[in-house]
Amino acid sequence: MGMFHNNVNCDIYIGKGAGKKLMHDIDNAQHSVKILSPFLSPFLVKKLIDLHHKGVSVQLITTDTIEDFYGDRKRNVHELISQHTHVDREARALRNKWKKIRRVLYWLAISLTAGMIYLVYQYNDVRTYGLIIPIILLFLGVQVLRSKIQKKGIFSYTYKQLFPFKVVISPDKFDYDGMYLHSKIYIIDDRIAYLGSLNFTGSGTKKNYETRIRLSSSEVVQKIVEEFNHLLLNEQLPELSIQDWGQQLYKEPIN
């Protein structure tokens, strides 16, 4: 992993607004857009989503330091992941059976309680207090079934990516002595590549003082594409799985 290439012709830009030409090329992509950016802005993620819906192949590598991670679902990275709910029909049938039994036990306990009160009031016979034991047992049964019903999950969840992307875990999030993905790479239609300091954020592309180079040499761009693909498929980089990320973004009711 890693590359070096000599004697490369490129366009160089230094200063604010380093992303203007980049964004123009991304907007005019015909076939594919590949992006490696540790940071993302939600409105630029939306641009990638729009490209995907237009039929442009999008691939993304980023880190778990995403802006507005838990913000409004209509404008942030929730749109990159869809949640799919699966129903365990056997578990649901068993839970419904327990519900019926619980109702029977509950009304039986209520009936016995009412009958005991009536007998005590009508006949003042202390022997009717013996009904307290089965009444208590019935109410205990009701509570046990209620607990079992609440814990019996009938739903399971899987998650699907809108387009291929990889979320690499930052080294400071756990005991990891590996490298941090700090590079920024943009590849459009496998014909144009950008390297530089600007993240795929509003501040990086517009406001910050950044550096970037634009390359169009087919040989060099192909090498950069190979490096990007290597990072995307690299199993050695610790990444947040789609299931883990989905569980952080969405609720998962058990029933």
Q: What is the pLDDT of residues 30-63, one digit of tens each?
A: 999 999 998 888 888 889 999 999 999 999 998 8
Which amino acid would we find at residue 119? L
Please give the model's pTM, rounded to 2 decimal places: 0.74
**What average pLDDT does the segment 191-218 reach?**
92
pLDDT at 45: 87
Tell me what the pLDDT averaged over the chain comes to: 85
Selection from 233, 227, 229 nearest residue 1 by Cα: 227
User: Which DSSP state fits 51?
Assistant: H
Q: Does position 179 have pLDDT exceeding 70, yes or no?
A: no
DSSP per residue over 118-148, as a string? HHHHHH--GGGGGGHHHHHHHHHHHHHHHHH
User: Tokens 């989905």 identify what position?
Assistant: 246
CB atoms within 10 A of CB 95: 19
Of the chain, the end-to-end C-alpha distance in Å amounts to: 46
Q: What is the pLDDT of residues 209-227, one digit of tens each?
A: 999 999 999 899 999 999 9
Q: What is the pLDDT of residues 107-131, one digit of tens each?
A: 999 998 888 888 878 877 767 777 8
